[in-house]
Structure 1
Amino acid sequence: MSTTVEDALLTRRSCRAFRPDPVPRTEVERLLALASRSASNSNCQPWRVHVLTGAAKRALTADLLRAHDEGRRAASEFGYQPGAGEWREPFRSRRRRFGEGLYRDALGIEPGDTAGRLAHHRRNYDFFGAPVGMVLTVSRLPLRGALVDAGLFLQGLMLAARGAGLHTCAQASLIDFHPVLRRHLDVPADHVVVCGIALGYADEDHRLGAHRTTREPVSAFATFHDRVAD
């Protein structure tokens, strides 16, 4: 359990292996209430969260897996992120290192093992075994600003979860099947799907329990200005 914001930031990670232990609804509601304290442009609070557990989660998972296995990926509703071949440097290299660290180093899946990689990726659609699955959407009316607001809400939820001894994983992969999500969750027409979120207790005995990603040093992304240029 994280007792400070600093501790929550340092221990937050994208957890891809969960125990089946249930998370009480009252606890999920408390975490969402905390996340709702996140800043938003002019306090618009454009987010909406669909929470799935039990039979509802199993039904959505089954439909997502069926759509995945049948290759029914849908075109993006908006330009959320680059396609696989569209990433530019330095982001392409960082993405490649992430993939190598996850698949090869942590899971022992070699680059040429397409079936192995696909099998792990497929676990996204069961929320990596987490007992709680969420789908975050925002209004498309103030879309660009709403996406920033959604990121703030998402970070607030992740840190609140760490404060409760829980882990999360944000899942952009679910937007590939937004028609399935819309059918199950009755997403309003003026909303777009931002991501899925897995929530639960980490399975620390899983081989991914020790997997951690690296971060760039402050010197790589921060410029300090303390004097006026000549």
Structure 2
Amino acid sequence: MANLDLVQALDGVMKGRFATRFYIDRPVSHGTIRDILDAARYAPSGANIQPWRVYVLAGAVKAEICRDIVATHAAEAAHHASEYTYYAPSLPDLYQSRKQAFGRIFYGSLGIAQDDLRGRAAQTAKNYDFFGAPVGLIFTLDRRLEKGSWLDLGMFLQNVMLAAKVRGLDTCPQETLAKYHRVLRRHLPIAAEDVVVCGMALGVCDAAAVATRGVMERASVEAFASFHGFEAPRAHDQGE
């Protein structure tokens, strides 16, 4: 028998999580981060190989790394690129339309016009200070592994975000930090065989700023799932 209180609580955490780009200046303790990672490490992985590695940044160390990335981005952004391709070179129409809708909603909520390239660039640059969050995480994966291990890392990342959320913290996964893997290697003991996959901002959200964000609609279940071998749903199963 399902524990309905637990089901509702877990569903609420998953539905309430979103990429937060506004944080207040409140530190997060080493113990809290360790507890988050201790819970997240139970993510599934093929043959239990647990391929993830995490570098947790705070305080003066984080500030130094951010200064280096921000300066590098301002001076020579064109000379840096991620070691993998995140988006397909040509997105199919469905996904391209969703990507464009995100841009309209997100930048629109900030009062940045679609043709305001300088405003968009300034907002993008905030990634490189983890949007002011007190904690930054860098995730790496052994480049000798295959796509299955990238799936494993994705499940681990989701665990991190959910474990943070239930502790009253918010997160923002940031692929764009992978662009500056050479800068990160100047400061962190990242092995040559590891690829920097993404970063993540973590901290207490600025509730007032978050309240202004646009609502990102998610596709309905019917838009991505088909059911086979089930009896026709009754009216109340469909929420009617």
Q: TM-score, normalised by structure 1?
A: 0.92
Alignment gaps of 5+ in structure 2: 1-5, 231-240
Deviation for aligned residue 1:160: 0.6
Deviation at 1:52, TM superposition (A): 0.3
Distance in 1 (CA, whole Å) between partners of 2:88 and 2:183 is: 22
SS at 2:200 equivalent: strand
1:79-118 Cα offsets, whole Å, 9 max, x none, are 33335xx2222111000000000001x1011111111111
Alignment of 1:35-54 (within 5 A): 35-54=40-59
TM-superposed deviation, 1:183: 1.6
Match of 2:223 among 216, 220, 225: 220
Instruction: Tell me the C-alpha RMSD between the 2 structures.
Output: 1.7
Out of 58, 62, 68, the position equivalent to 2:73 is: 68
Whether the 8 Å CA contact 2:110–2:213 is kept in 1: the answer is: no
Distance 1:36 1:113 in 2: 42
Cα distance change of structure 1 residues 88 and 215 upon mapping to structure 2, 3 Å threshold? same
Question: What secondary structure is seen at the aligned counterpart in 1 of 2:154?
Answer: helix
The match for 1:115 is 118
> How far apart, CA to CA, are the structure 2 residues paired with 1:117 and 1:107?
10
Quote how far apart the aligned CAs of 1:208 are: 5.7
- Show structure 1 runs of 5+ residues with no match: none
Paired positions, count: 223
Greater alpha carbon shift after TM alignment, 150-159 vs 69-78: 69-78
User: Residues of 2 paired with 1:115 and 1:95: CA distance?
Assistant: 20
Structure 1 residue 88 corresponds to structure 2 residue 92: yes
Residue 77 of structure 1 is aligned with which of 71, 83, 97?
83
* Cα deviations by residue, 1:55-90 (Å, 9 ceiling, x for unpaired): 11001100111111113342332333335xx22221
* Equivalence for 2:193: 190
For each residue in 1:177-227, what CA deviation from the matched residue of structure 2 results, as whole angstroms up to 9, or x when unmatched?
Answer: 111112211211111111100000000111565433110000110011118
Whether the 8 Å contact between 2:106 and 2:213 is mirrored in structure 1 is: no
For residues 72-221 of structure 1, what are the structure 2 equivalents within 5 Å? 72=77, 73-83=79-89, 86-104=90-108, 106-206=109-209, 210-221=213-224
- What one-letter code is carried by the residue in structure 2 that aligns with 1:96? Q
Report the secondary structure of 1:70's partner residue.
helix
SS for the counterpart of 2:127 is helix
Structure 1 residue 176: Cα displacement: 1.3
Task: Give the whole-Å Cα distance in 2 for the aligned partners of 1:197 and 1:163.
Answer: 17
**Secondary structure of the structure 1 residue equivalent to 2:104:** helix
